[in-house]
Amino acid sequence: MMAHYEAPIRRPLVTGDKTYHDVTLDVVAPVEGRANKHWWIVFGIALTAFLWGIGCIIYTITNGIGSWGLNKTVNWAWDITNFVWWVGIGHAGTLISAVLLLFRQKWRMAINRSAEAMTIFSVVQAGLFPIIHMGRPWLAYWVLPIPNQFGSLWVNFNSPLLWDVFAISTYLSVSLVFWWTGLLPDFAMIRDRAVKPFQKKIYSLLSFGWSGRAKDWQRFEEVSLVLAGLATPLVLSVHTIVSFDFATSVIPGWHTTIFPPYFVAGAVFSGFAMVNTLLIVMRKVSNLEAYITIQHIELMNIVIMITGSIVGVAYITELFMAWYSGVEYEQYAFLNRATGPYAWSYWAMMTCNVFSPQFMWFPKLRRSIMFSFFISIVVNIGMWFERFVIIVTSLHRDYLPSSWSMFSPTFVDIGIFIGTIGFFFVLFLLYARTFPVIAQAEVKTIMKSSGERYKKLRESGQSLVGSGADPRTSGGPVKINLDGHYQAAQAEVVSDEPMIPEDTHGNDVLINSLGAFDAATQKADDLQKVNGIGPKMEEKLNQLGIYTFAQVARMTKADYDLLDSITGSFPGRAERDDWAGQAATLNNN
């Protein structure tokens, strides 16, 4: 069918011999299976880090912000560095699910679920910092414009910190419903497979009674598209607003108009790096190599390369503008970054962010899983330093030399950061064991256009009509049940295109027991000489690799049944006609 046409230049996005049913099985495997020892070890480490982080947060809140390394000059450091870092990481999820949806990028389908999970979990981490870095976090609700008993005392809508509140909460909540709506069909799939009553109950609850009606799907797709259309400007605006925290200030090194797009590019850069880190591990651990292929990793690396280059251009632009501006404060801010007491962090940032993505120009490197993994971690380190450099180096030396100072973090600063990393992985590890980590309903829609199995079928000139059937779920004769019991009917399909139950699942087993046909040394027999094998059946047998009387003669009852389930027509015919016996006679003649 033309509907599944895809240019031959495109490589398959789902490799291997996967049918729709295989997608189901592969996606539910981690959910239905049990966690292994490694999972528990990693989970234990993450949980410990998380608990340590909670301890540090409680320590901060009960003892005061003075337990951090901040001082009167540098009053934002690790707190807001981590906040921006986590928000930035979160952005790739929305980029993958929304922007790539708008651009109809089919490769997003295998990674969008995990990328969105990463978004949600990292925005949760980010959301902690605006609260715990407050001196009086118990009054945090005062940031909301709620009518109150102070004559109705409101908030000031001029502050980017208030815009942050609106941006982050909108971003988190919209990402959450976007993610959840996409999960409904997948939860429904797990629900309908669940055997244990508890699992069934949980997934029934989670799937909101999704039934997969045509009208539901029509609305579902429209909702996804509109949400993607809303999430794209949202993701740009959120990091823009985060960048306004600095860009709208009067601090040299902060007051720049380049920040909004530059922060967004940096967010995509670090976010994709984090997705890459997580998926390289996940594809291996959850056996999803057929869905998250080298091609996916390569494409993510290309995005990292492009956004890394944008970030590089932004660095050069900043340096040029500082020189060009003629403002000594601005020029000193950059001189200080490059040669001052924090030069090491500036050069660490430059090395990680400007040089490391440039390796991706080499196909050999960007197609290497080990190298991608290494670079993706380097990028996240670099992007952490970027925020640290922007925040700390601009604050510790600015207008008045008498208020110059230094900054060094305390164990509480570090502990909270480690705690958020632990919390992130606690959430992500739990997600990986309970959620369908691949949007199976979406992957099934691209199977026929981008699945390797179907691409091969199409290239060999065969129709894809009927090729979605899987012998494990839909073999056997047509069943008709009109009055309470089944009757079998023979499938005689009248349609424009012939049904070819092409399949290679049972095929291998069949050929193993019957022996393979080697066109170079053997000659094909006229199988139609066997009574009961017509031209159609001969064609089917040939497709399965059965060409000679000798092969047919080796058939046993088990092989007949297998043949029936593969071809799905004329059940029991081969046995009744004793094809093996006939073939043996013909073979001897």
Partner 1 sequence: MAHSVIHAIYTDDDVLMNAVKEVKKKHLHINEIYSPFPVHGLDKAMGLAPTRIAITAFMYGCLGLTVAIVMMNFIMIEDWPQDIGGKPSFSYIENMPAFVPIMFELTVFFAAHLMVITFYMRSKLWPFKKAENPDLRTTDDHFLMEIDADGQNAQELADFLVTTGATEINLVANEEA
Nearer to partner 1, 278 or 441 (CB): 441
Contact (Cβ atoms closer than 8 angstroms) between residue 31 and residue 436? yes
Q: Of residues 404-443, which lie at the interface with partner 1 (CB under 8 A)?
A: 440-442
Q: Nearer to partner 1 by C-beta: 338 or 480?
A: 480
Three-class SS string for 323-355? HHHCCHHHHHHHHHHHHCCCHHHHHHHHHHHHH
Choose, by CB under 8 A, the member of 33, 44, 66, 145 that binds partner 1.
145
Q: Which residues on neighbouring strands pair with residue 489, listed in sequence order? A: 478
Under rule CB under 8 A, residue 260 binds partner 1: no
Using rule CB under 8 A, residue 188 touches partner 1 = yes
Q: Is 163 in the site for partner 1 (CB under 8 A)?
A: yes
Cα separation of 81 and 73, whole Å? 16
Minimum CB distance to partner 1 smaller for 483 or for 518: 483
Q: Does the protein bind partner 1 through residue 478 (CB under 8 A)?
A: yes
The answer to the question of residue 524 lying near partner 1 (CB under 8 A) is no
Q: Provide the token pair at 175.
A: 């990402």
Looking at 473, 528, 542, 556, which residue binds partner 1 (CB under 8 A)? 473
Buried/exposed 279-311: b ≥16 CB within 10 Å, e otherwise: bbebbeebebebbbbbbbbbbbbebbbbbbbbb
Q: Closer to partner 1 by CB, 54 or 500: give it.
A: 500
Q: Quick one: which segment of 170-178, 321-329, 341-349, 355-363 binds partner 1 (CB under 8 A)?
A: 170-178
- Alpha-carbon distance of 254 to 133, in angstroms, equals 20
Nearer to partner 1, 78 or 454 (CB): 454
* Site residue total, partner 1 (CB under 8 A): 93
| 515 scored as a contact of partner 1 (CB under 8 A) | no
Q: Which stretch binds partner 1 (CB under 8 A): 40-48, 84-92, 133-141, 480-488?
A: 480-488
Residues within window 494-513 making contact with partner 1, judged by CB under 8 A: 494-497, 499
CA angle in degrees (0–180, nearest 5) for 447-449-450: 65
Nearer to partner 1, 1 or 316 (CB): 1
User: By CB under 8 A, which span of 7-15, 136-144, 149-157, 540-548 interacts with partner 1?
Assistant: 149-157
Q: Report yes or no: 411 and 59 within 8 Å, Cβ to Cβ.
A: no
Please identify which residue in 181, 295, 462, 504 interacts with partner 1, judged by CB under 8 A: 181
Q: Closer CB to partner 1, residue 43 or residue 142?
A: 142
Rule CB under 8 A: choose which of 74, 98, 120, 231 binds partner 1.
Answer: 231
Rounded to the nearest 5 degrees, what angle is found at the Cα of 276, between the Cα atoms of 425 and 450?
120
How far from each other are the two terminal CA atoms of the chain, in whole angstroms?
A: 44
Binding mask 200-229 for partner 1 (x = CB under 8 A): ----xx-xxxxxxxxxxxxxxxxx-xxx--
Nearer to partner 1, 227 or 314 (CB): 227
Q: Which two tokens stand for residue 11?
A: 């490589």
CA 284 to chain centre: 14
Q: How far is it, in rounded angstroms, from Cα 74 to Cα 69?
A: 9
Report residue 325 as tokens: 């501006």
